[in-house]
Amino acid sequence: MSTPFYVSPEQLMKDRADFARKGIARGRSLVAVQYADGVLLVTENPSQALHKVSELYDRLAFAAVGRYNEFENLRIAGVRLADMRGYSYDRRDVTGRGLANAYAQTLGTIFSSGGEKPYEVEIFVAEVGERAADDQIYRLTYEGRVADEHGFAVMGGDADTVSSYLSEHYADGASLDVALGVAVAALGHSKDERGQDADRVIPVDDLEVAVLDRTRTQPRKFRRILPAALAGLLGERGPAEHAPEAHASQTPPDDTPGDGSGPEEPPVAPPLA
């Protein structure tokens, strides 16, 4: 029997974190924005069938970036957890905090256990309250960290670029069409090699948009905004452009030098202790 090489715990965790971060940055960004009537979730997703944003419960929405099979599992677990809790107690007892905690524990345990590959996902759990001050956006990272975001939040893809655009243009208490316009422009925002703005207009059909709208009369506040309605809300934006294929190979900002894994290759499992 051979003795495994010694790997320090710091190095082990760093390797696992790098692995997860790389997987997450490979996709496209997702934006959550608070607006006057609730929370708006927008991402670029050419698929109309495989959603990145979906309903969890009456006042809760789920949004994720990263590996589809992994976050789909987490989404289904969240729906089951929420429905079971709402059925055995009351619908009002299902809260964003409860679900965010459950997700955090799950992601944290998977990340630090040696036996499993860390999940390459990042998640938002958004909650809409009676008033704008009660709205919440929880961000959950691959290692199980929870953060409480205010105003707007971005994850996945080139999150820093999108986030810098939003921090310049975001305003509290905006109407839906204004907030949507800013969010979509932020997703299309990018810089070329020389640091010049190279923004593009994302086609309406490539957008996945949903809101938690507190003005809905039904108890279920989640609503998808379909492309037909989006065109009207966004107004005239100039010629649209699909995402360049090369976008998928985007490397995360604080990464170690290239390890040879190409854009389309599946990620390699991290070293196990």
Partner 1 sequence: MSDARIPAAFLRPGTSSFSDFLAENAPDLLPARRSLPAGSAADIAPHGTTIVAVTFPGGLVMAGDRRATMGNVIAQRDIEKVFPADEYSVVGIAGTAGLAVEMVRLFQVELEHYEKIEGTLLSLDGKANRLSALIRANLGMAMQGLAVVPMFAGYDLQRGVGRIFGYDVTGGRHEEASFFTVGSGSLFARGSLKKLYRDALSSDDAGRVCLQALYDAADDDSATGGPDLTRRIFPVVWVVTADGGQRLSEEAIGALADQVVGARMTRPDGPVAPLPGGDERGEAR
Nearer to partner 1, 102 or 179 (CB): 102
Based on the shown chain and the rule CB under 8 A, indicate whether residue 218 belongs to the binding site for partner 1.
Answer: yes
CB of 54 to partner 1, least distance (A): 7
Return the residue of 28, 51, 59, 139 that touches partner 1, per CB under 8 A.
51
Long-range contacts of 68-75 (CB under 8 A, 24+ apart): 70/119, 70/120, 70/121, 71/119, 71/121, 71/123, 74/103, 74/106, 74/119, 74/121, 74/123
CA 48 to chain centre: 17
- Separation CA 230–CA 235 (nearest Å): 8
CA gap 99, 92 in Å, rounded: 13
Of the pair 73, 251, the CB lying nearest partner 1 is at 73
Decide: helix, strand or coil at residue 73.
Answer: helix
Q: Which position among 79, 201, 226, 233 is part of the footprint of partner 1 (CB under 8 A)?
A: 79
Using CB under 8 A as the binding criterion, the count of chain residues that bind partner 1 stands at: 27
Using rule CB under 8 A, residue 73 touches partner 1:
yes
CB of 196 to partner 1, least distance (A): 40
For the chain, first and last CA: distance in Å? 15
Residues forming a β-bridge with 154: 31
Q: Which of 92, 145, 150, 220 binds partner 1 (CB under 8 A)?
A: 220
In the complex, the smallest distance separating the C-beta of residue 57 from partner 1, rounded to whole angstroms, is 8
59 Cβ contact list (under 8 Å, min separation 6): 96, 127, 128, 129, 212, 221
Binding mask 81-110 for partner 1 (x = CB under 8 A): x-xxxxxx---------x--xxx-xx--x-
> Where on the chain is the footprint of partner 1 (CB under 8 A)?
49, 51, 54-56, 73-74, 76-77, 79-81, 83-88, 98, 101-103, 105-106, 109, 218, 220
